[in-house]
């Protein structure tokens, strides 16, 4: 591995989007060893309580509103920007996701490193070709989330612009399919299988992704922060194993007895697997086997469905 991980023990870390599926286990982990500030709009009182129970300091702010970010302390060491909004309103979503990362970086311009979470949804559809960081970009997720891919691409551009203008060491990590004991895409597939709801699949099968378990992404965050440069490091971030929707549904079927009903739909997201070369060079391979990860997820969220 080319990168030395940063030591986050005792560091002041700002985590945005802390109540989301991806960041929640990150807050839970780092609040035990570091000084974590958790930033979201916090429209629900129970979300605040959950953060406080984990030991994080709550900051209620909206990334679309630069003024509201004055609540962020000026001595943040590291930023993990997970926040995302998919309201379908282009004006707001571009302001929150695109300008939002810029607003945040300006507020935290003295941070030692800024880690922005992007998505492989920024890549154009290209069949089974593993996507490299320099592969063509496109409006991949338009069918389900009209503003998502475009605003994630916009966010990356704003992030690079501000990093370059203000010399902020930055990494952009393009997440594949994050999952863990608190949820993930395959959990929705299990629920659909249970109810006999058809699962749409792109006809160019199999539909490959790189599921990334929470244990792995938590372990890799200090490395991604260590990889941050003023030129900005952009890297795919998925599991080292390539797995298809068909494979994980078949495995869920083995565990539960529920049969998947697949339905061809050329509009469905197609294969979106990643080229892991740069990721492996920088931060090494992931370690959680996808079958172990899925079994553990069902055990945690729905033990009654396991045979």
Ligand X SMILES: NC(=O)c1ccc[n+]([C@@H]2O[C@H](COP(=O)([O-])OP(=O)(O)OC[C@H]3O[C@@H](n4cnc5c(N)ncnc54)[C@H](OP(=O)(O)O)[C@@H]3O)[C@@H](O)[C@H]2O)c1
**Strand runs (DSSP E) across 107-147, as ranges?**
113-119
Q: Using the rule CB under 6 A, is 153 a contact of ligand X? A: no
- Select 65 or 246, whichever has its Cβ closest to ligand X: 65
Selected range binding ligand X among 19-27, 127-135, 202-210, 275-283, rule: CB under 6 A: 19-27
User: Cα–Cα distance between 269 and 134 in angstroms, integer?
Assistant: 20
Q: Using the rule CB under 6 A, is 115 a contact of ligand X? A: no
β-pair partners for 38: 15, 58
What are the CA-CA distances from residue 169 to residues 133, 205, 215, 217 (Å)?
19, 39, 25, 20
User: Cα–Cα distance between 233 and 108 in angstroms, integer?
Assistant: 18
**C-beta of 77: minimal distance to ligand X in Å?**
20
Q: Label the pairing between strands 243-244 and 208-209.
A: antiparallel
Q: Using the rule CB under 6 A, is 63 a contact of ligand X? A: yes
Q: Using the rule CB under 6 A, is 140 a contact of ligand X? A: no
β-pair partners for 172: 116, 234
β-pair partners for 199: 262
Q: Which of 41, 109, 280, 295 binds ligand X (CB under 6 A)?
A: 41
Residues 169-208: x where in contact with ligand X by CB under 6 A, - otherwise, as a string:
------x-xx------x-----------------------
Reduce the DSSP state of residue 246 to 3 states and report it: helix
Using CB positions, name the residue nearest to ligand X: 20
Q: Using the rule CB under 6 A, is 62 a contact of ligand X? A: yes
Q: Using the rule CB under 6 A, is 151 a contact of ligand X? A: no
Q: Using the rule CB under 6 A, is 20 a contact of ligand X? A: yes
Q: Using the rule CB under 6 A, is 94 a contact of ligand X? A: no
- Select 4 or 173, whichever has its Cβ closest to ligand X: 173
Which structure tokens are listed for 221?
A: 């965050």
What are the CA-CA distances from residue 40 to residues 2, 68, 241 (Å)?
33, 11, 32
Binding site residues, ligand X, CB under 6 A = 16-23, 40-43, 47, 62-64, 82-85, 96, 117, 119, 152, 175, 177-178, 185
């Amino acid at each position: 591995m080319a990168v030395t991980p940063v030591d986050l023990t005792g560091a002041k870390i700002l985590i945005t989007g802390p109540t989301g599926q991806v960041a929640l286990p990150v807050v839970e982990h780092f609040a035990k060893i570091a000084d974590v500030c958790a930033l979201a709009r916090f429209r629900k009182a129970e979300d605040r309580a959950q953060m406080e129970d984990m030991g994080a300091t709550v900051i209620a702010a909206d990334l679309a509103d630069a003024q509201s970010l004055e609540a962020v302390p000026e001595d943040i060491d590291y930023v993990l920007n997970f926040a995302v909004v998919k309201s379908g309103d282009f004006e707001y979503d571009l302001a929150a996701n695109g300008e939002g990362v810029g607003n945040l970086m300006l507020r935290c311009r003295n941070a030692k490193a800024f880690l922005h979470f992007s998505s492989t949804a920024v890549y154009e559809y290209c069949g089974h070709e593993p996507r490299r960081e320099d592969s063509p970009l496109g409006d991949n997720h338009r069918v389900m989330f009209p503003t998502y891919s475009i605003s994630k691409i916009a966010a990356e551009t704003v992030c690079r612009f501000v990093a370059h203008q203000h010399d902020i060491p930055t990494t952009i990590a393009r997440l594949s399919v994050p999952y863990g004991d608190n949820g993930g895409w395959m959990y929705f597939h299990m629920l659909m299988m249970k109810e006999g709801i058809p699962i749409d699949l792109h006809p160019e099968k199999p539909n490959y992704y790189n599921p990334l378990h929470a244990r792995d992404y938590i372990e890799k965050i200090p490395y991604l922060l260590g990889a941050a440069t003023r030129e900005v490091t952009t890297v795919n971030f998925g599991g080292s194993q390539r797995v298809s929707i068909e494979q994980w549904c078949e495995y869920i079927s083995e565990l539960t007895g529920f049969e998947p009903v697949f339905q061809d739909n050329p509009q469905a997201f197609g294969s979106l697997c990643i080229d892991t070369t740069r990721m492996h060079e920088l931060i090494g391979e992931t370690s959680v086997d996808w079958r172990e990860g899925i079994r553990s997820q069902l055990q945690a969220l729905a033990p009654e469905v396991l045979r």
